[in-house]
Amino acid sequence: MIEILSASVHGPRPRIPRIAIDSIVTVRDGASIYRLRGCDVSQGGIKVHSATPIESGTEVVVTLLGLEPQPAVVRWSEGGQLGLTFNRSLPLPLLVGWLQDQRGRSCATS
Rounded Cα distance, 31 and 18, in Å: 29
Confidence band (pLDDT; 50, 70, 90) for 16?
Answer: confident
Mean pLDDT in the chain? 87
14-24 burial, b at 16+ Cβ within 10 Å, e below that, comes to: eebebbebebe
Cα 74 to Cα 100: distance, rounded to the nearest angstrom: 26
Render pLDDT for 32-72 as a digit per residue (tens, 0 to 9): 999 999 999 999 999 999 998 899 999 999 999 999 999 99
* Spacing of C-alpha 82 from chain mean position: 11
Q: Residue 95: in which H helix or E strand, if any? A: helix 92-109
Q: Identify the architecture of domain 19-103 in CATH.
A: Beta Barrel (2.40)
pLDDT value at position 4?
47
pLDDT band at 1 (very low <50, low <70, confident <90, very high): very low
- Does residue 74 register a pLDDT over 50? yes
Q: Please give the DSSP secondary-structure letter assigned to residue 94.
A: H
